[in-house]
């Protein structure tokens, strides 16, 4: 039997929002530095100015990152789900007062549960969702530098597969 109270739910959401915000900033910085390096500029402000109205948003950066890099389908889906969850937390100030937030994530349940839960027996749906979202965040934080540092492979019909010089 779970001793799950509204205060515990509030604390879970507050901690989750904090972790999402901190890691979004880390991911934003990594992606911005990657784009700056690829474009040959030294200042991240130049990258941020490339967006609409001179402001490239976090969502636009992540979407561009996913479109430009050869991510696996599952990793691309992880980035997209993370971005949706991040946007919900950033754009919706009422999340911290809404205990029903976890029940509104039904579209993410199958993907998150299939990806991150094997035989873990948690007490409630809220605890399961909190667990899988933390796992997703950790995955995205690990995957971002991985894809940035991964050597790019190019195909040349005369030579075959080559690595960039």
pTM above 0.75, yes or no: yes
Please check whether residue 117 lies inside any domain of the structure: yes
Residue 38 has which token pair?
A: 């690829």
Q: What is the pLDDT of residues 43-69, one digit of tens each?
A: 887 777 777 777 888 999 999 999 988
What's the pLDDT at 25? 93
Contact between 112 and 132 (Cβ < 8 Å): yes
Please check whether residue 90 lies inside any domain of the structure: yes
CA distances 2 to 103, 130, 135, Å, are 17, 15, 22
Close Cβ partners of 151 (under 8 Å, ≥ 6 residues apart): 163, 164
Q: What is the pLDDT of residues 68-82, one digit of tens each?
A: 888 999 999 999 999
For 78, the domain range is: 6-162
Please check whether residue 88 lies inside any domain of the structure: yes
Count up the domains in the chain and report the number. 1
Split at pLDDT 50, 70, 90, the class of 136 is: very high
List the one residue out of 26, 47, 66, 56 whose CA is nearest residue 147. 66
Q: What is the pLDDT of residues 25-41, one digit of tens each?
A: 999 999 999 988 888 88
User: DSSP character for 151?
Assistant: P
Please check whether residue 1 lies inside any domain of the structure: no
């Amino acid at each position: 039997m779970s001793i799950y109270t509204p205060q515990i739910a509030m604390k879970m959401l507050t901690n989750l929002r904090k972790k999402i915000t901190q890691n979004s900033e880390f991911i934003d910085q990594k992606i911005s530095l990657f784009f700056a390096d690829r474009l040959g500029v030294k200042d991240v402000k130049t990258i941020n100015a490339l967006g609409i109205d001179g402001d490239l948003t976090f969502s636009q950066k992540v979407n561009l990152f996913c479109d430009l890099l050869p991510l696996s389908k599952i990793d691309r889906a992880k980035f997209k789900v993370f971005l949706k969850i991040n946007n919900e937390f950033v754009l919706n100030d009422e999340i911290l007062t809404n205990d029903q937030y976890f029940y509104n994530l039904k579209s993410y349940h199958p993907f998150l549960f299939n990806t991150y839960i094997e035989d873990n027996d948690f007490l409630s749906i809220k605890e399961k969702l909190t667990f899988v979202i933390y796992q997703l965040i950790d995955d995205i934080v690990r995957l971002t530098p991985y894809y940035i540092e991964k050597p790019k492979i190019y195909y040349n019909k005369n030579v075959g597969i080559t690595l960039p010089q």
